[in-house]
Amino acid sequence: MKDVTLKQLLEAGAHFGHQVRRWNPAMKPFVYGVRDGVHIFDLVLTKKGLDDACRFLKKTAGDGGVIIFVGTKRQAKDTVKETAIKVGMPYAVERWPAGFLTNFDQLNKSLRKLKDLKEQREKGELKKYTKREQLLIDRDIYRLEKFLGGLVAVEKKPDALFVVDTKREEVAVKEAVRMGIPVVGMVDTNGDPTQVDFVIPTNDDAVGAIDLIVRSVGEAIEESKSKSKLKGKV
């Protein structure tokens, strides 16, 4: 895993928070100062938060744990989805399905339905239905795939959540807290760090900052899984 430098964080714009009037006072320990009415993060603490988060996620993945990537904002969804797929982890990039963690058994029925319908379609078993019925089934698959497709492999309570913009993904964060699932999150100056186990204090709107941090997390997970495979061969 490549060590992210302060220079990289600076160039990515990770230091810019929100306007002073929009801040959450709980983020004060992570703020370096104010520039033109905008809070500026202490990038030393941003780097520390990222390093701590990567170590935790690396160990979790290395132990065979499941980490759900959550990032539904426009600037994040492509990178989040691409990285999650690359490291073999589930993801939510359209919207968080409310109750996924707190009412998993019920949501799991929809996941099983999606799996079954896709398997039937792949085997050509849907041809027994009329064209109209097939069209309705295809629409059902599309709807389920769009909102649950990235989570279809989740069969039990995940071991951690990695969240881009914990304020936006408040529902997912609260569900994880309620279920005792560790949360690793990118928290901007308007966010609440008290709900997050591993805080990465950073600009969570800039594409550069999101890409840098998400890819760093992905590299840490990928490295741990590679080491696990090597151990298995010994």
What are the backbone angles phi and psi of residue 206, rounded to the nearest 5°?
Answer: -70, 130
Start-end of CATH 3.40.50.10490 domains in the chain: 6-98+157-233
Specify the CATH number of the domain 6-98+157-233: 3.40.50.10490
Distances (CA, A) of 34 to 2, 11, 121, 207: 30, 18, 57, 22
Start-end of CATH 1.10.287.610 domains in the chain: 104-151
Quickly count: other Cβ atoms within 10 Å of residue 177's Cβ.
Answer: 17
The pTM (predicted TM-score) of the whole model is 0.89
Strands 38-41 vs 31-35: parallel, antiparallel or unpaired: antiparallel
What angle, rounded to 10 degrees, do the helices at 74-86 and 207-233 form?
10
Specify the CATH number of the domain 104-151: 1.10.287.610
pLDDT digit string (tens) for the chain, length 234 residues: 678 999 999 999 999 999 999 999 999 999 999 999 999 999 999 999 999 999 999 999 999 999 999 999 999 999 999 999 999 999 999 999 999 999 888 877 777 877 788 888 888 888 888 888 888 888 877 877 777 889 988 888 999 999 999 999 999 999 999 999 999 999 999 999 999 999 999 999 999 999 999 999 999 999 987 765 545 544
